[in-house]
Structure 1
Amino acid sequence: MAKTLKPKTNALRHLDAKKIPHNVYEYDAPDGFLDGVSVARATGMDINKVYKTLVTQGGSKEHYVCVIPVAKELDLKKAAKHFGEKKLEMIPAKEITAVTGYIKGGCSPIGMKKQFKTAIDCRADNLELIVVSAGKVGLQVELAVSDLLAVAGGELCDLIVE
């Protein structure tokens, strides 16, 4: 009998090592990338609990991670204020792997190469469970918001464009 292997990524290894309960969901990404709204649809998840991971860089050259609802837009001014920077910019897509260890479309706030200051949009506080990338295109992970905050070293704050 063939064994079904659970996929392994840095994010999932991190959750397993810390014994954090989670569910993994796979989806097809035939072109190698899907936007977050399409991922929510592909997994049958409530779009309000699926969040995307965005990596920014401040004038100080420090990197910061912002986790926001997939259907929303990051307010760079709000994020800069939260992180104590005058200005933040999105890092270029070609730098994602070098900075985080993940690829575009598969960037997880969990298990990056380095622990960056992380902010999760405050709307997540209304959720019991949140869904983020599991560290690979085609893979999502669902876990308690409190567990994501703990494992990512995150703080809740208002991050989206109104």
Structure 2
Amino acid sequence: MKKKKVIKTNAVRMVEQAKIPYAIHEYDVDTAHLDAIHAAQGMGIPVEEVYKTIVLTGDKTGHLVACIAAHRELDLKTIAKVSGNKRVELLSLDKLEPLTGYVRGGCSPIGMKKKFPTFIEHHAMEQKTIRISAGKRGLQLEIAPQDLQQLTQATVFENHPDEVEA
């Protein structure tokens, strides 16, 4: 029986280099719906297990990365405060690939062109594993949140959006 070849993205290479246990999950991509909620649905798992990567620009510190659960909104005031900024704004999509090396729907907090300050929502730390983009649309990396935190040298933060969870 022929073993299926693992797709080697920068994120997967870095996880392997660090000798971190992981699993790869593939799903069919709908380019009209590249969000993390559709990724969870495509894999048939709860949205609480999938974390989206959001790249922002702070007025004082420059670029930063936030990882939050697929079904939650990022509170920009909170992330600004914990990152040492007065305000932050989302990075425009036309700047995403040149800055990170990743495209929308395939942006991983691991393996970007440059290392940016990273922040992980505290809910992630309550789970055994979470899924993040593996650096390619349709590909998710399942990893322990503590390993993700260590690899990205991330700060855990409490995200306080207006709670509009379903």
Residue 36 (1) aligns with residue 36 (2): yes
Structure 2: distance between partners of 1:153 and 1:159: 18
- Say if 2:34 and 2:104, in contact at 8 Å, map to a contact too: no
Contact 1:33/1:137 (CA < 8 Å) preserved in 2? no
Structure 1 distance, partners of 2:42, 2:65, is: 25
1:14 to 2:14 alignment: yes
In structure 2, the residue matched to 1:59 is 59
Number of residue pairs the alignment of both structures matches: 162
Q: How does 1:137-148 map to 2 (within 5 A)?
A: 137-148=137-148
Alignment partner, residue 75 of structure 2:
75
Deviation at 1:4, TM superposition (A): 2.4
Deviation at 1:2, TM superposition (A): 5.3
SS in 2 for 1:151: helix
How far does residue 128 in structure 1 lie from its aligned partner after superposition? 1.1
> Which residue in the other structure is 1:126 paired with?
126
Amino acid in structure 2 at the alignment position of 1:16? E
1:99 counterpart = 2:103? no
Instruction: Give % identity.
Output: 41
2:108 touches 2:134 (CA, 8 Å); kept in 1?
yes
**Which consecutive residues of structure 2, in runs of 5 or more, have no partner in the other structure?**
none
The structure 1 segments of at least 4 consecutive aligned residues displaced by more than 4 Å after TM superposition are: none
8 Å contact 2:60–2:86 — kept in the other structure? no
Name the aligned partner's letter for residue 99 of structure 1.
Answer: L
What do you get for the CA RMSD once the two structures are aligned?
1.4
Q: Deviations over 1:72-95 (max 9, x none)?
A: 111000000001100000000111
CA apart distance, 1:46: 2.0
**Per-residue CA distance 1:35-80 (angstroms, 9 max, x = gap):** 1111101112221111000000011361000000111111000000
Distance 1:86 1:57 in 2: 11
Asked if structure 2 preserves the Cα contact closer than 8 Å seen for 1:68 and 1:160, the reply is no
Give, in whole Å, the separation in 1 of the partners of 2:58 and 2:69.
22
Greater CA drift, 31-40 or 48-57:
31-40
Residue aligned with 1:64, SS: strand
For residues 91 and 30 of structure 2, what CA distance do their matches in structure 1 show? Answer: 25
Contact 2:61 2:84 in 1 (8 A): no
**Counterparts of 1:160 and 1:66, CA distance in 2:** 13
